[in-house]
Amino acid sequence: MRKIYLLAGIALLTAACGNNEKMYDATGVFEATETTVFAEQNGTLLTFSVEEGDNIKAGAEVGIIDTTQTWLKIQQLEATKQVYQSQKPDMERQIAATRQQLAKAQQDEQRYRELVADGAAPSKLLDDAANQVKVLQKQLDAQVSTLNTQLSTLNSQLSTADVQIDQLRDQLRKCHILAPTKGTVLEKYTERGEFVAIGKPLFKIADTEEMYLRAYVTSAQLQQIKLGQKVKLFADYGDSQRKAYDGTISWISSRSEFTPKTILTDDERADLVYAVKIAFKNDGYVKIGMYGEVAFSEK
């Protein structure tokens, strides 16, 4: 009988020791990629439809900064462009008379050349006709050069105005506040009607669907893990309440660091640890800052 009781005690002790075995290899904190959205223009915040806890789609417009002055500057530059355009010279019309005179002088030169060759006219007439052709040719070249310079200047002014308009349109675009990524609004820093300056934080957003657990492992545990490895995550709700998730190791730090005081590792004597990130799909129950556990292999 004593032998039976002894065997039963050993069995119970073994079971108790088995229950105390840890179900995880490392612990950490759940995190999400957080993005702070800043004002990109100065002005009054005309609309701002952001509230903490809102779920926003990527690219959604959530506010507008006053665009009046920027729009008026664009209209002013558009009018200036029209003035420059109207000042462009009509080269063909302005040099038409000189071209006609040059053509007539060239014809006279050719006629006198033939008459001089036949001995019917003195050579002085040919020299005068040739000089007239040269004078008219120089006048034509000077006119063309002047008109080209004028045209080039106006084209440069038009290009400069186009660049300024593009800059203003970019400023106009930045007056529209867009969500850079999908996610949940964590914090709101301003209200509609306030004046905001460039660089002022407006709100913080985080993707709470694609989250990750940041945990720390010892150098001895590094041989158990690799990028892309499938692991098991557990969200700790307290009072032994846990929920399991499928995760994938997405990042392993290449640099060691001293064990953070808030982190427990499998080897508590380890002074140096390596950070790892385990990505997983959140079902809405895991919150940023919650504690979690990870098992690299089946327990």
Hey, what are 73's tokens?
A: 């500057």
What's the confidence (pLDDT) of residue 62?
97
What's the confidence (pLDDT) of residue 35?
96
What's the confidence (pLDDT) of residue 209?
94
What's the confidence (pLDDT) of residue 183?
95
- Predicted TM-score (pTM) of the model is 0.71
What kind of architecture, by CATH, is found in domain 37-67+175-203? Answer: Beta Barrel (2.40)
What's the confidence (pLDDT) of residue 236?
84
What's the confidence (pLDDT) of residue 270?
52
CATH superfamily of 22-33+207-295: Efflux pump adaptor protein, beta barrel domain (2.40.30.170)
What's the confidence (pLDDT) of residue 256?
85
Distance CA 14, CA 23 (A): 17
What's the confidence (pLDDT) of residue 59?
95
- One DSSP character per residue, 187-222 reads EE---TT-EE-TT-EEEEEE-SSEEEEEEEE-GGGG
Distance CA 188, CA 204 (A): 7
Please count the other Cβ atoms lying within 10 Å of the Cβ belonging to residue 271. Answer: 10
Residues of the chain with pLDDT under 50: 1-20, 269
Q: Phi first, then psi: what are they for 196, rounded to 5°?
A: -115, 150
What's the confidence (pLDDT) of residue 298?
67
What's the confidence (pLDDT) of residue 41?
96
What's the confidence (pLDDT) of residue 5?
32
Q: How do residues 198-241 score in pLDDT, each as one tens digit?
A: 999 999 999 999 999 999 999 889 988 999 999 999 998 877 78
